[in-house]
Amino acid sequence: MLLVKSYTKPVLYLIGINIIIKLLLAPLLELGNDEVYYWTYLLRPDWNYFDHPPMVGWMMRFFTFNGFWASEISVRLGSIVASAVSTWFIFKIGKLLSRERLGWYAAILYSASIYTGFIAGFFVLPDSPQMPFWTGALYIMAHLMLRKSDENNWGIWLLLGLVIGLAALCKVHGLFLWAGFGLFILLQKRQWLSNPRLYVSAFITLLCLVPILYWNINYDFITYRFHSERVTNTGVQIDSFIQEIVGEFAYQNPIVFILVWISVIFFAMRKFRFRQNRIGIWLLCMSLPMLLVFWAVALFNPTLPHWSGPAYIPLYFLVAAWFEIGKPNFFPLVFKLAIAIVAVVLVAATVAVKFSPVNFGSKSPNSYGEYCPTLDLSGWNKLGENFKTMVAEDVAKGEIKDGAVLLTNKWFPGGHLEFYVARPIGMPLIGIGELQDLHQFAWLNKERSPLQIGQDAYAIVPSNLPLNVVDAYGAYFTTVEKPEKLLQQRGGGVVRYFYVYKLKGCKQIPKPLIN
């Protein structure tokens, strides 16, 4: 059993090892559906976007040097740095709540959670830039809660409002930070309701939301109209609720998930306590309301488990406090097992993506590879190289006119086609379809020259995302030729086909989807 006086250095080693592993892993895995889609945010700066606020685009713009450095590493670098900063905040919060050992335990749990450690801490999601602001807000709240001198400090309150506002500029559910803190104030700190700093802080958050409001006013609140149409409320759906809970179990790491809920039960049974009772109440206020909201939504509509991911962060400190009881243990065995699960998942996933000779989805010729998650992260770079050669040969032979464009009818595979196929050869990608399918590509169309009468085009259809090209684009072109078939090979097997169509002679220009 190793006794450690200071855990600062171990935490820095933990952060450093995480950074190194992620930097080594980043170039091995091609960008996923969401990652290449959020790349389109970088291509068209705006105050808000159809799907989310602008922060994820700002993050990528900074770390890719305004798109000049376009690679898997540069695109993911912001997420990796954000994860490192968040882990440090977790350690500092734990130290503030109790002592460094509690912060060390919480930092391990944060790294072992698949959601915080890799889904938001490696891949590119709006959650990625949100994590430093979320954990930073918790750190500021802990100061206000535990240090009497900070209650009347204008700087602390203003900073809290700004940090929560920035969290909301990543994803609007950052406002749950105010909801949880507000509940805590009502339960434990009602005297703060007469503190003008609280209201000015909340006003600062509202000011941060002005870009989102401004954009939505300009586009008739199109984001919220679209998402409200997805909320069907057709009755209680037990299946979607179970999927949410199972998803949280997997995303949080099964061991972390189990430890979290055991610690919640033990805390409720008074098996352990913090030095101040209000700490435990604050942690529960910052977690349970958000979880209950998403569980309620999941009872009636399909959800995604990462939506509730931030709600688990405060509960890591309950687990850490539970393990802090008794004799000091530098690295408890169950924490090592949690880290081991992450390591096994990463190795297995990387091997499958790089070397699996079979796809893990549909084997049907009409949808070969459908629902295989490994295909999101492989095959696109090679497709881009093959397509570049094909276009050069087609132009040289006069089979297609110079100045052809590439078409997409959905944001996926549109994002991959943009990043790996169209971008490297400077070919414009044009979206033709419905707004609910194209999303940001409808706005990119505004930045690009529209189709011209007589112009030729290509359409690429992955076998795992089947599309009837004649139905989708035939009305706009004189001729749709039979496709050429490109193979995606891996480990000696064929895991997917790419069908490349040539569409000749544009005869009708699609109407713009937005003004």
Nearest of 179, 173, 175, 90 to residue 139 by alpha carbon: 90
The reported pTM is 0.96
Q: What is the pLDDT of residue 228?
A: 65
Q: What is the pLDDT of residue 236?
A: 86
Q: What three-state secondary structure class fits 488?
A: strand
Alpha carbons 357 and 491: distance in angstroms, whole number: 4
**Percent of the chain predicted with pLDDT > 90:** 93
Nearest of 381, 364, 393 to residue 502 by alpha carbon: 393
Determine the average pLDDT of the residues in 410-429. 97
Q: What is the pLDDT of residues 179-199, one digit of tens each?
A: 999 999 999 999 999 999 999
Backbone angles phi, psi at 417, to 5 degrees: -65, -35
Determine the average pLDDT of the residues in 436-447. 95
Q: What is the pLDDT of residues 324-348, one digit of tens each?
A: 987 889 999 999 999 999 999 999 9
pLDDT at 231 over 60: no
Q: What is the pLDDT of residue 371?
A: 95
The residue ranges of every structural domain in the chain are 8-350, 373-506
Let me know: does 290 contact 93? Beta carbons within 8 Å.
no
Alpha helices in 209-237 (DSSP H): 210-218, 222-230
pLDDT at 356 over 80: yes
Nearest of 324, 479, 461 to residue 399 by alpha carbon: 479
Determine the average pLDDT of the residues in 37-59. 96
Q: Between the CA of residue 227 and those of 175, 299, 488, what are the distances in Å?
A: 18, 17, 35
Q: What is the pLDDT of residue 222?
A: 86
Mean pLDDT rounded to a whole number for the chain: 95
- 250 C-beta neighbours (distance < 10 Å), count: 14
Determine the average pLDDT of the residues in 392-402. 96
**Percent of the chain predicted with pLDDT > 70:** 98
Q: What three-state secondary structure class fits 212?
A: helix
Joined together, the tokens standing for residue 406 give 């590439």
Determine the average pLDDT of the residues in 17-37. 97
- Cα angle 208, 211, 216; round to 5: 130
Q: What is the pLDDT of residues 99-154, one digit of tens each?
A: 999 999 999 999 999 999 999 999 999 999 999 999 999 999 999 999 989 999 99
Q: What is the pLDDT of residues 254-313, one digit of tens each?
A: 999 999 999 999 999 999 999 899 999 999 999 999 999 999 999 998 899 999 999 999
Backbone angles phi, psi at 335, to 5 degrees: -70, -40
Q: What is the pLDDT of residue 3?
A: 61
Determine the average pLDDT of the residues in 141-169. 96
DSSP 396-462: HHTSS-TT-EEEESSHHHHHHIIIIIIHHHT--EEE-S-HHHHTHHHHHHHHSPPP-TT--EEEEEE
pLDDT classification of 223: cutoffs 50, 70, 90: confident
pLDDT at 23 over 70: yes
Let me know: does 187 contact 285? Beta carbons within 8 Å.
yes
pLDDT classification of 234: cutoffs 50, 70, 90: low
